A and B are shown apart, each in its own frame.
Chain A
Amino acid sequence: MSQPNPLVAGISRRLNGPQTLGNSAFFWCAWLLGLALLVALPLLVSRYQVINASNILISCILAMSLCLIWGYGGILSLGQASFYCIGGYAFGVVGINLIDAQGNTDLALLAGIAIPVVFATVLGGMMFYSRLKGVYIAILMLVVSLLLGLFMRQTADPSYTIGSAFLGGMNGLRPATSADPSIPNMILGFGDYVIAFDGRRSEFYWLVLGLTTAIYLGLRWLVNSSFGYVLIACREDLDRTETFGYDVRLVQLAVFCLSAAIAGFSGALYTAWGTYIHPDGFGVAPNILVVIWVAVGGRRDLTSVIVSTMLLSWISLELTSSGEISLLALGVILVLAMLLAPEGIIATAGAWIGRTVRRRGGMPARSRESVT
């Protein structure tokens, strides 16, 4: 490369490192090209496909939240979709109640992040401070998600009303009376200065694309920071890391809450996108689906997880018209991936591309990054 610009070098040092695949100039060129394609997508495809693409990007955010806690933190949660749904319900309930008074959904979006975090703090506090590990956490999270789903299904009774919002059981969240507002779109800003993002329009797609990119870059910075090293150490050997003087329970709780915040955020976006949320999201299939996205791509790399979530969600959409085939197909892909590339199909392919490019270009393997 030419003379290093200090700003570029500083950003590069923070975003690149051994915890992520794809740290080369070649990778970032391809990444920018991909991003440019995604930005231009609404000009290239039909409006219906843009609506679907928005939903796929929301799924990518959810997948990154599981990638963080499972791939980097070593904590498999089979209940990641529950944070997504809690965030979705929180956005809806607060949105219905405040949209007329406030004219925006700022607080609803905040609730979509904060309430999953409060829930994760209580649940994670109990799990990590009682030193629960591995498969017990995975199962406990799935059970909690199923229980929440059971509860939400039986809220068809009119007594389950929060202000102007009626939980609505199997039919999903609704306004309590016909006079109350329905679930709002994403409306951000203050007072008269608000921008509305209708989930069926390209503006919403670009908003979600920007947020996905920001979360991706933020997480890359986090996992390559010195905290990221502690996180990896906890994943590799929890007891050993504790004997270095780290309160590993606190590390696990912190990353669990961050993961819940990101998942809840994606759930809030989902509710705003479709202006509906219902209890099916707490079920087994949505929870397993997130695991499949992450595992097939490569749970230890953020980029791989995003690529695989895009591809698998697209395959799901294409197969939706064929009924239950969709989930079956993903199951087959998961089994094949685990047999052929246990570290993930995209991650394995990405590592191969990286080696090939380095060999062709005669570039030396990266030496030690200074970790800051």
Chain B
Amino acid sequence: MVQQEPDNEKTGHYRNRNDSSAAEARELRERAIKAVWFCTALTAILAIVFIILFLVRDSLPVVRDIGIVPFLTGTDWYPSGDPPVYGIAVLVIGTVLVTLGAMALAVPLSIGCAIYIAELAPLTVKNIVKPAIELLAGIPSVVYGFFGLIVLTDFIRVTFDVPSGETWLAGSILLAIMALPTIISISEDAISMVPSEYKEGSLAIGATRWQTISQVLVPGALSGITAAIILGFGRAIGETMAVMMVTGNAAIIPNPVWNVLSPVRTLTGTLGIEMGEVAVGSDHYAALFGVAVVLLAITLLVNSAAVLILNSIRERQSGRHSRKKRTIMTGKVWDQIRRPALIGEFLLLAVFLFVALPAHAALLITAGIIAGYCLRNLLDAKQAERIAFTLIIAAAAIVLLILAVILQDIIVHGLSAISWEFLTEGPKDLGRAGGIFPAIIGTFCLVTGAILFALPLGVGAAIYLIEYTKEGRITRLIRITVDLLNGTPSIVFGLFGLAFLVYFLNFGVSLLAGQVTLGLMVLPTIIRATEEALRTIPGSLREGSLALGATRWQTIWRVVLPPAVPGIVTGTILSIGRAAGETAPIMFTAVVFSQRYLTASVFEPVMALPYHLFILATNVPGSSTNKYGTALVLLLLVIGIYSVAIYVRSHFAKKMRG
């Protein structure tokens, strides 16, 4: 598609010079081009329809054989029993607990960090911290899981003196780290977007910086922060690999229910651990698809809430109050919910503290916090500010420390494995010896295919949405589906790929199936990035071009697209990074454990770095150098890709401003 476009453009150019005899043909061509973009926009809708269709289709036997009520409310998940029992309530509870725990840890840290970046950090520090946190977002989930399995679970086992470190706590900590970047960057945007007059006004009437932040800026950005938290929540719920590797996967409800040191099993973990093993068409298979449907429903619900809030903010900011005033949260609401929200957060933290620390230490900290809260009115504003700023800076420091610890562990252990042979040879002895060359190439092939699939579709859909239509029912539908697609957990894409591409279309476990699955997964990222880029192009440019007699397509191609390229490139690079690091979507659709030759056709399976790391970390004892090496290569690859994206964005942002 990319290669054809210049031809189109050229012929259009010639015809333009010819006289009006070609006008009709030109009209026809314009319509054809519009139709093409419309079709690409439809793919998003088609994708979500197909995903839901196939998940529901394959889970229907659940209704027939198990019954929907026992399935949803049963607290036993025991597929190998006699008779087998499929009750997912225990899995839903596990998912909710792990996610809540993650939020209890992530919310204070990330809001503190966001305030630091937006308000406190000197510019030079900000220029380091912000990209660093974006890098945190780039670390693949399997690398987090690997780190969790090797370092975190052992740390928890020893520190808390429990028999096994594979616990709810381990899952929550990992998920908290993974949710941090999402919450931080959206909250930071929200805080920065509070009109500066508010801030100046507050400071002018003599409020301290902390008073301004806590009484003006944070309440003003509250909707955005709420949306950030919900989005982080959505990301945490849908996370598979990291959770599956550290929570122990015992299908039990912790006893007592706040026992964070109990193993738990989540919806995603169940899919990850059992999906590859189950016989197709069995009740167990149907039950797993039922699990996927429930998971999808939960994430869609959560993400829709976030989208609703974010949209209302956008409407308010663009000054279109008049159409629909859907203010979700105002300062008044904040005053009402502040106390319960703080107390809730405090209670959650207290539970964590008590289980996590020796009783007297926990008591001391809790008492300290309560005392601080009660005495806060006795402090003068300056002292309060000093304490608050210390806490905020501590939050930012903790986030950076986490990043440093993870990177340090993997780099220090991984470097010794890296050698020319490691990068250019195939694996030997179950991956304990030899290299990872086929996995590197396999990952490249997967990502290339995914981008070739998603880029034309995504850019086309965005062009259609922004350039060809007015806001209407159809664009709203497309936007909603893009949002839905964006919130779909990666493991659900994997299941869809398995049910639709591998079995229904009979691709088999193959490169092609993996490419399409990954392509669908990154499609919403590309659509959104392109949309954003096109939106920033002023309408006057288009009007000028159209007024000079250019057709709509000529305007888009010559005038609108070129300045939008940096935005599109950034979105694409981020997609590449995401696709390269994902394990769950390709685990059932595209990968093999080992192969001798590089894959020769798209109908053959490939090796891939994230999957190779997953297998080495969980299945092959005694492969410690090679698994660290693989983790390092994967990390460097993805972080390298993300750094390029961050660089491209900041470079062009500067250029645009200048």
A and B pair up: no
A residues touching B (Cβ–Cβ < 8 Å)? none
